[in-house]
Amino acid sequence: MPDKKNLRVVIDTNLLISSAIVKNSPPDKLVRLWLKRSFILLMSDEQLKEILDVSKREKLKSRQFLFSERINELLEGIEIISEVVKPLSGKDLSIRSRDPKDDYLLGTALGGKADYLITGDEDLLVLNGNLSLGNLKIITAKDFLKLI
């Protein structure tokens, strides 16, 4: 395993949004570790757009008083300390998710030479260990927190 501070990680959008909603949850702990630069967060333009779109949903803003503040902190962190990578296009992916909407995360992880893709999505988790992933591991936030 590479030096932990040099780990290259893609975090599923759902987990990033969850981190702003539920304080002290595994996704929140994950984001706090990243903000302390415990690993390198990889981000694609497509994922950033998705985070921005989801964060503007009225139902999320009304769920928690501090959501806007926490999502802004996340977005500022992404802008300042994430590494924007060029994802592999769909035609260049050697492996696909059961849900085609998740393929952009695979493309980001593989294009950015990520060590880990962290998700709670079973359509991605079932791919872990597939030889087409190379060195990429697909695991849950709880499992990643145990490693780091």
Structure tokens at 53: 């779109």
Residue 57: the pLDDT is 80
Tens digits of residue pLDDT in 110-137: 999 999 999 999 999 999 999 999 999 9
Confidence of residue 96 (pLDDT cuts 50, 70, 90): confident
Q: How confident is the model at residue 64 (pLDDT cuts 50, 70, 90)?
A: low
Is 18 a residue whose pLDDT tops 60?
Answer: yes
**DSSP element (H, E) containing 11:** strand 8-11
Read off φ and ψ for residue 137, nearest 5 degrees.
-110, 140
Which residues have C-beta within 8 Å of that of residue 69, sequence separation ≥ 6?
none
d(CA 116, CA 137): 5
Element (H, E) at 76: helix 67-81
Average pLDDT over residues 31-49: 95
What's the mean pLDDT in 136-141?
98
